[in-house]
Amino acid sequence: MRQLRYTAAAFRGAKNYNAMLRHLKKPVLTVLRWQLAATAALALLGALIAGEHGAASALAGGLISITAGLASAAVASMGNTKSAGGVVMDALRAEAVKLGLAMLLLWLVLVNYSQAVVGALIASFVVTLLIFAMAFFVREY
């Protein structure tokens, strides 16, 4: 029972586990700002190294990651579960959406943008994807 007191602190007074998502708003918005800043910086770097196609490729990679992350957050917020197992399943569903959408968007860019600078695209995608994972470390205060 003592452990439950620590692990359920975010849910005190809540009718369901979806109350936790209100606490995620600040971390997601903070990480979104970081991702946008990193995408802009990498697009500038891509422009300096490989010209306009390098910039466009870096921009596309960053936007793919940002879009997939936002879709994942949206799917996670739609869950209306009342159990810890349900929360885990909602999180796995959100990650599956993020992975699937990211792969689809990467494929679409690589197939349709023949002058893509693949290094800039992948580097920007990976950097912004790693930044999204940093939401775990963002504090509410």
Question: What are the tens digits of pLDDT across the range 80-118?
Answer: 777 888 888 988 999 999 999 999 999 999 999 999 999
CA–CA gap between residue 85 and residue 74 (Å, rounded): 19
Residue 8 lies in a domain: no
Residue 2 lies in a domain: no
Angle at 21 between CA 15 and CA 26, to 5 degrees: 140
Residue 75 lies in a domain: yes
Number of domains making up the chain: 1
DSSP secondary structure of 68-102: HHHHHHHHHHH----SHHHHHHHHHHHHHHHHHHH
Residue 129 lies in a domain: yes
pTM: 0.78
CA–CA gap between residue 92 and residue 87 (Å, rounded): 9
Closest alpha carbon to 21 in 97, 85, 72: 72
Q: Residue 27 is part of which domain span?
A: 15-137
Q: Give the tens place of pLDDT for each residue, 13-70.
A: 445 445 545 556 777 888 899 999 999 999 999 999 999 999 999 999 999 999 999 9
* The two three-digit tokens of residue 107, written as one number: 């494929």
Tell me, what's the pLDDT at 77? 81
Residue 3 pLDDT class (50, 70, 90 cuts)? very low
Residue 1 pLDDT class (50, 70, 90 cuts)? very low
Residue 56 lies in a domain: yes
CA–CA gap between residue 54 and residue 43 (Å, rounded): 7
CA–CA gap between residue 81 and residue 62 (Å, rounded): 32
Tell me, what's the pLDDT at 11? 47
Residue 38 lies in a domain: yes
